[in-house]
Homo-oligomer: A and B are copies of this chain.
Amino acid sequence: MAKSEKEMGMLRDHLAKHQLKLTRQRELILDAFLKQEHITAEEMYHQLAKKDPHLGLATIYRTLNLFCEAGLAQARHFGTQTQYDNISHKGHHDHLICTGCGKIVEFENCEIEKLQEEVATRNGFTITTHRLELYGLCSRCRH
């Protein structure tokens, strides 16, 4: 609870800057969110049902979107649902996804990121975010 100082600070900053309030729900959801690598609103809804059975799904959606605006999370469409990635710990990262078993491996590659910038510049764009997903089979599923 006291270990998420940095993230709590980022949230407070964002709230202050936009005249928003720090609520019990927002603290609760932040706590749960920081323990995850990526999670959907629905998953979090079920997880938190134990701690607060009255917490509404709409509040979870609202709060996760707030985290995105505060720079703590990043939304990513995966399949039919939206995954909220925790970027506060390890920063931005991309994904290798096994279409056989659903396994997800996270990676970072500075060279790729650099080339992306070049492509953007060449086309007159300024990149704010990106998304790179590699789909295939992991070593186990290949056999």
Contacts and interface: CB of A to CB of B under 8 A. Distances in A.
Interface of A: 77, 96, 98-99, 105, 107, 109, 111-112, 115-116, 119-120, 123-139, 142
Nearest to A137: B126
B136 A125 contact: yes
A9 B133 CA distance: 30
A77 B77 CA distance: 7
Interface majority SS (helix, strand, loop, mixed), chain A: strand
Contacts of A127: 134-136
A84 to B, nearest CB: 16
12 contacts: A77-B77, A96-B125, A98-B125, A112-B115, A120-B136, A124-B138, A125-B134, A125-B136, A128-B137, A129-B135, A131-B131, A131-B132
Contacts of A119: 96, 107, 109, 112, 134
A127 B120 CA distance: 24
